[in-house]
């Protein structure tokens, strides 16, 4: 990922990661268990939750399905 991204993009990434982490914890999943059940590599999940990377749409779909929510709830 380019390091010269506008600050608003970096902030939105952090917000998305925080929201995913909050919902995951509310559902009582450890990061390891959540990675396993979603089929997403644990390190990839760590980077998403830390706001260090943009998740693929397929990852968002998997995350939303496991959390029984809509993708729009994650990204809004």
Confidence of residue 10 (pLDDT cuts 50, 70, 90): very high
Q: What is the mean pLDDT of residues 23-40?
A: 98
Whether 21 shows a pLDDT value over 90: the answer reads yes
Q: What is the pLDDT of residues 51-71, one digit of tens each?
A: 999 999 999 999 999 999 999
Task: Give the chain's domains with CATH numbers.
Answer: 7-75 (1.10.260.40)
Within 10 A of 6 (CB to CB), how many other CB atoms are there?
Answer: 8
Whether 2 shows a pLDDT value over 80: the answer reads no
Whether 13 shows a pLDDT value over 80: the answer reads yes
Spell out a b/e string for 31-64, using b for 16 or more CB atoms within 10 Å of the CB, else e.
Answer: eeebbeebebeeebbebbbebebbbeeebbebbb
pTM of the model: 0.90
């Amino acid at each position: 990922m380019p390091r010269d991204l506008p600050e608003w993009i970096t902030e939105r990434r952090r917000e998305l990661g925080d929201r995913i982490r909050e919902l995951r914890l509310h559902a009582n999943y450890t990061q390891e268990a959540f990675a396993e059940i979603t089929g997403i590599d644990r390190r990839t999940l760590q980077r998403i939750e830390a706001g260090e990377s943009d998740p693929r749409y397929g990852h968002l779909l998997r995350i939303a399905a496991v959390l029984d929510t809509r993708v729009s709830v994650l990204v809004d």
